[in-house]
Structures are given as C-alpha cells and as structure tokens.
C-alpha cells in the first residue's frame, strides 16, 4: 500500500515574522540575496506514506493459484514453455531478464520533470520481525513483498486524468489479470485490486497491482506484451491509501525476487534493472507559479494546485517546488528571471530534515507595478539539474 494526500500530509506556514528565527537555524533557513521584491510568506508540506499491508496472505494465495491454473492451460496450448526453474526453461538457461522503469507520464503530467517517488522497497528479512531492504535500511515494512511507486504530486488529479500509466517492465505473456474493483481506496480494507500479471522469457512473473478501474489492458490472458507497453493507469484499488503501483516479482521457481542489487539483498536476484535507480533518487518533480498556495485535500478528493500561467503586477505570486527524496543539506538555488534574461530575484534553500519521501516548498512575493510585462521564468537548480517553468506578468 501507499499513502496520498490524506492524514499523512502535513503542511506548515511560516509567515514573514518567523523568518529571522529560521534564518538562524542553518539549512532550513531562507538564504542568499533577495532582490527587487520583498518576501511575504513561506511554507512547506510533507507527504509521509505509512507502512501497511498491500495484500493479505489469503489474497496472495488466491492470485498465485489463479496464475498457476492459467499457466497450466497456456503450457498445454504451447503458448508457454514448461518446466521453469529459476532462469531455466526446459533445462535451457535464458539470458537475464532486465527491467525498464514501469511508470510513464502522459498528457500534462509529462511536462513535469518527474511524477513519482518510492515509498517502500522489498523487505529482505524472510523470517519477519526485522526491516531490511536491499541497502540495509528500513525503507520498507515487515514482509513487504514488492516495490511501491507512488504518484507525486497531485495523485488523485492525475489518476482522474489517466496521466500516469503503468507499463510492462519487460516483454512477456499475460498470465492473469483482474479489473472492475473499486479504485478510490483510502484504507487497507479496500478489498481486491485491479492488476496484470506478466510472465517473462525466463519464467519469472511480475505483478502490477492497484490499477485504476476499467483501465486494465485489453490484452487477453495468453497474449504477448512488449517492453513499455501499456498495462493500466496507476490507481488506488485494493488495500491502498492513494494512487500507486505495487510491483511484485517472482522467479521461475516461485521465489520472491528483489530487483534491486545491494549489500543486504538475500532474495532471488533475477530479473533486475537495466539501470538501477538510486536508493535516494533526489529530484524536483514539479515547479509551478500561482496566485495562492496549493491546497492538499483529504483522500480521495483531488488537490487544488492553484497554479496559474498569468500573474498581475501589484499582486502576490506564489512560487512552489515539489521534491522527491529530498535530503538534509541539498541546496536549491532559485531564480525568477525577467523577459530580457536578467535575474529579478534569487534565493537559496535547503532542508534540515534527514529525508522526505515527498515534499513541497513555496515562497510568495509581491510583483512590483514597475516591472516589465511579458514572459518570465521560474527556475531551480537542484542536485546539478535545472528545472524551469514559464509564466506571464501583465
């Protein structure tokens, strides 16, 4: 399971009067020169996915039984080879199956620098009771058997707009799917999920769960899918507290796989990634400009971005940045750029908190009546990457 903007979202407003105190507190403070426009207010919010069970033992056993029955039929029809064991099929060792990223943004979401975060990795402690993921940390929960990739920001808005697609991480054959179950779950008592199950060349199987109702691929059981092919829309069906993908993988012998390589991985290692994502994949997911701050609503209500393309001289402008895996001491350098390319305003910021899975920070300024009209730019340099968005001042 995963969380969205419900009870796990905490936001903070830091008015102008509090900035002097913050400035003496080091990395969490507003830093750097502020030019032309006085700061009016600043705030931030964090997104804290809780730990809870995606699938009950009974649900997992039911799914495994259905997949196995389908495999037997497909093998009898010659659609699938028989006698899978680890990476071997009929005694022949197949090349290592490699995964590409299983999430793709489309539509308006594709215009943002990023759209996801990871809330939970696979728990590598087979005995239970101890949290150990591949990197020896505790970014998982007890007996979590998959990887939770969540949509960020505005998960419910993007789910409604079908903007975050789940795609096949590797080519294979559909060996099971289910659809039609409710997808507005905000708890871990959400019932069955919508999902697709794909078997790869080496006999391993990937489970893609929590999909949006009536979004599941039209491919039938026994049909092939290609790498990157659409499987469904990221949703919140089953035991879930917000739109996310639960990716669970088993090798050809039925052993749980952790695709992430690391010093504490003790589970099966096939398949793995073509290019393994960093453990802390710190990045900017979105920048936006608006006339007021974002409103994060309770699950499953859509959030109110309050973004705007046009700001008026003599009015307030709000400049917001959404992060994934933000860590203490990572500095963001912000600029508001005039139409002629000159810097109107610049500042720096860094969090003092060790880690946020997802967060957002905003600053508001009055737009002077004397500034030029035209197309402006809000940009941030974070971890060596520059992200920007344009807006109009009139």
Please tell me whether residues 72 and 39 are part of one structural domain.
Answer: no
Count the residues in the chain: 394
For residue 157, give the 3-state DSSP assignment. helix
**Cα separation, 319 vs 336, whole angstroms:** 9
Please tell me whether residues 259 and 149 are part of one structural domain.
Answer: yes
User: How buried is residue 311: exposed, middle or buried, by Cβ count under 10 Å (0-12/13-18/19+)?
Assistant: buried
Please tell me whether residues 164 and 35 are part of one structural domain.
Answer: no
List 364's β-bridge partners, or say none.
41, 318
CA count, 13 A, side-chain hemisphere, 118: 21
Are 225 and 174 a contacting pair, CB within 8 Å?
A: yes
- Is the pTM here over 0.85, yes or no? yes
In a domain, 311, yes or no: yes
**Cα separation, 279 vs 301, whole angstroms:** 31
Taking only the tens of pLDDT, the chain with its 394 residues reads 554 433 334 333 333 222 222 222 233 333 333 334 557 899 999 988 766 688 988 999 999 999 999 999 999 999 998 755 555 555 566 678 999 999 999 999 999 999 999 999 999 997 778 899 999 999 999 999 999 999 999 999 999 999 999 999 999 999 999 999 999 999 887 689 999 999 999 999 999 999 999 999 999 999 999 999 999 999 999 999 899 999 999 999 999 999 999 999 999 988 999 999 999 999 999 999 999 999 999 899 999 999 999 999 999 999 999 999 999 999 999 999 999 999 999 999 999 999 999 999 999 999 999 999 999 999 999 999 999 999 999 9
In a domain, 115, yes or no: yes
In a domain, 158, yes or no: yes
Are 237 and 211 a contacting pair, CB within 8 Å?
A: yes
**Cα separation, 145 vs 155, whole angstroms:** 23
Please tell me whether residues 204 and 173 are part of one structural domain.
Answer: yes
Q: How many other C-beta atoms are found inside a 10 Å radius of the C-beta of residue 137?
A: 15
φ and ψ of 112, to 5 deg: -85, 155
In a domain, 289, yes or no: yes
Domain housing 206: 57-273
Please tell me whether residues 143 and 233 are part of one structural domain.
Answer: yes
Please tell me whether residues 268 and 285 are part of one structural domain.
Answer: no
Please tell me whether residues 297 and 243 are part of one structural domain.
Answer: no
Pick the last residue of a domain from 227, 243, 273.
273
Pick the last residue of a domain from 257, 273, 289.
273
User: How buried is residue 197: exposed, middle or buried, by Cβ count under 10 Å (0-12/13-18/19+)?
Assistant: buried
Please tell me whether residues 65 and 202 are part of one structural domain.
Answer: yes
**Cα separation, 245 vs 29, whole angstroms:** 35
Please tell me whether residues 37 and 161 are part of one structural domain.
Answer: no
In a domain, 37, yes or no: yes
144: domain CATH number is: 2.70.70.10
Torsion sign across C-alpha atoms 185, 118, 170, 133 = negative
What is the C-alpha radius of gyration for the chain, rounded to an integer number of angstroms?
23
34: domain CATH number is: 2.60.40.1930
Are 173 and 199 a contacting pair, CB within 8 Å?
A: yes
Pick the last residue of a domain from 273, 292, 322.
273
In a domain, 2, yes or no: no
Please tell me whether residues 73 and 201 are part of one structural domain.
Answer: yes
Are 142 and 191 a contacting pair, CB within 8 Å?
A: no
**Cα separation, 348 vs 346, whole angstroms:** 7
For residue 159, give the 3-state DSSP assignment. helix
**Total domains present in the chain:** 2
In a domain, 3, yes or no: no
Please tell me whether residues 117 and 149 are part of one structural domain.
Answer: yes
List 273's β-bridge partners, or say none.
99
Please tell me whether residues 96 and 153 are part of one structural domain.
Answer: yes
């Amino acid at each position: 399971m995963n969380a969205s903007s419900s009870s796990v979202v905490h936001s903070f407003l830091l008015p102008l009067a509090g900035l002097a105190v913050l400035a003496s507190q080091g990395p969490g403070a507003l830093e750097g020169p502020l030019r032309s426009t006085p700061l009016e207010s600043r705030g931030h919010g964090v997104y804290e996915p809780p730990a809870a069970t995606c699938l009950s033992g009974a649900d997992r056993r039911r799914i495994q039984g259905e997949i196995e029955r389908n495999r037997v039929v497909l093998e009898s029809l010659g659609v699938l080879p028989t006698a899978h064991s680890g990476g071997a099929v009929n005694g022949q060792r197949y090349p290592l199956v490699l995964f590409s990223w299983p999430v793709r943004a489309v539509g308006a979401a594709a215009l943002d620098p990023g759209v996801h975060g990871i809330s939970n990795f696979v728990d590598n402690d087979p005995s239970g009771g101890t949290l150990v993921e591949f990197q020896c940390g505790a970014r998982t929960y007890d007996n979590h058997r998959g990887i939770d990739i969540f949509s960020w920001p505005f998960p419910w808005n993007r789910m409604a707009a079908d903007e975050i697609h789940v795609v096949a991480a590797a080519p294979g054959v559909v060996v099971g799917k289910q659809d039609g179950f409710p997808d507005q779950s905000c708890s871990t008592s959400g019932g069955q999920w919508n999902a697709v199950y794909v078997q790869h060349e080496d006999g391993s199987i990937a489970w893609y769960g929590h999909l949006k109702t009536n979004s599941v691929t039209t491919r039938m059981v026994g049909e092939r899918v290609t790498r990157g092919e659409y499987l469904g829309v990221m949703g919140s069906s089953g035991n879930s507290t917000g739109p996310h993908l639960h990716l669970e993988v088993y090798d050809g012998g039925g052993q749980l796989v952790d695709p992430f390589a690391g010093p504490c991985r003790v589970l099966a290692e096939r398949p793995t990634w073509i290019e393994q994502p960093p453990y802390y994949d710190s990045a900017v997911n979105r920048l936006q400009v608006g006339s007021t701050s974002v409103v994060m609503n309770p699950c499953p209500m859509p959030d109110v971005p309050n973004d705007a393309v046009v700001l008026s001289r003599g009015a307030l402008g709000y400049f917001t940045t959404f992060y994934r895996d933000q860590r203490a001491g990572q500095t963001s350098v912000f600029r508001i750029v005039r139409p002629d390319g000159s810097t109107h305003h610049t500042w720096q910021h860094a969090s003092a908190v060790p880690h946020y899975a997802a967060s957002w920070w905003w600053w508001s300024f009055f737009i002077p009546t004397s500034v030029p009209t035209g197309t402006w730019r809000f940009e941030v340099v974070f971890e060596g990457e520059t992200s920007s968005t344009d807006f109009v001042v009139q």
